[in-house]
Structure 1
Amino acid sequence: MTSFSKQLSFRWSDLDPNFHVRHSAYYDFGAQHRIEILESLGLTIKAFQMHHFGPVLFREECIFRKEIKLSDIIFMHTKVSKMKADASRWSIVHEFRNEEDQICATITVDGAWMDTKLRKLANPVPEIAIKALSIFPKSDDFIQL
């Protein structure tokens, strides 16, 4: 697998007054896709609760290149672009591509794992997270931190 991919379905409420997808909808699609991916890798909400940890973001940035309209067919491709060997820190990239495979937008998030009991960064990272991120598709320019 080269990336986690899904076709997006836009709703009327995803539009802004200019009739293209509003900026904050991109972030919502990225967040939803990350949770779906983590769940598929065994990092379910139940697993987070049982092991007392969860993902935390330090930075979330979107670069907009081409507008997306309600009827556009868009695929989101998600990969890990950076990660420490112990999976304690990571960066994930979401590419929004149209039918011509042109990039319409790119979201980059930098994150880590938080211990939900201590409310601090998880140290060490639970093995279940290390295993999940080790099989997460990597970007072509992946960097081991």
Structure 2
Amino acid sequence: MQKTLPSLGEKQLPVRWGDLDAIGHLNNTVYFRLLEEVRVQWLEDIGLPIEPGAVGPVIAHTACHFKREINYPATVTVSIELEHLGRSSLRLRHHFYVGDDRDTVYALGEVTLVWVDYAAGKSVPLPAKIRALCEAAVAAPV
């Protein structure tokens, strides 16, 4: 049985014709681009856009487990769930859904982000805003 993780939201993204592979499925590399877009949008939405030369996230790990093929046309909904909250890191889990169907998981993504001072190249504590959002999500009833 799948453990329910605290939700940090979800984003909807269209599948474009050029996102397909030679056999008409969403290309495996596009899943990672969708994960990137979801992260960037989420950070912008919460007021922490990525700013080169400042403090922000770098990817320490990412993976995607493909469950079912996604075809064109489609709108993909990608969940953002908190899996682990560390001192300077955040591990997120992402479910890929198509349309309004939340019963069928098409892919399962994961990413570990570490907050760093880009200029110094060293990890720093998570921003207070991120920590507060994650702690609120953990405390919210599921």
TM-score class normalised by the smaller sequence: 0.7 to 0.9
Paired residues, number: 130
Number of the residue aligned with 1:100? 101
* Structure 2 residue 132 is matched with structure 1 residue 134: yes
- TM-score relative to the length of structure 1: 0.79
Number of the residue aligned with 1:12? 17
Matches within 5 A, 1:1-145: 2-46=7-51, 49=53, 52-84=54-86, 86=87, 88-98=88-98, 99-101=100-102, 102-122=104-124, 125=125, 129-136=127-134, 137=137
Partners of 1:15 and 1:67 in 2: how far apart? 11
Identity between Structure 1 and Structure 2 (%): 25
**How big is the shift at 1:134?**
2.5
Partners of 1:118 and 1:2 in 2: how far apart? 32
For 1:91, give the aligned amino acid: R
Contact conserved, 1:89 with 1:110, CA < 8 A, in 2? yes
**How big is the shift at 1:69?**
0.3
- Consecutive aligned runs of 4 or more in structure 1 exceeding 3 Å deviation: none
Unaligned stretches of 5+ residues in structure 1: 141-145
- TM-score relative to the length of structure 2: 0.81
- In the TM superposition, what whole-angstrom CA distance separates every residue of 1:75-121 from its partner, at most 9, and x where no partner exists? 1111221112x4x1110111101243210001100121111111122
**How big is the shift at 1:2?**
3.8
Q: What is the DSSP-based 3-state SS (H/G/I as helix, E as strand, rest coil) of the residue aligned with 1:36? A: helix
Contact conserved, 1:42 with 1:132, CA < 8 A, in 2? no
For 2:90, give the aligned amino acid: W
Unaligned stretches of 5+ residues in structure 2: 1-5
For 1:24, give the aligned amino acid: T
Q: Tell me the C-alpha RMSD between the 2 structures.
A: 2.2
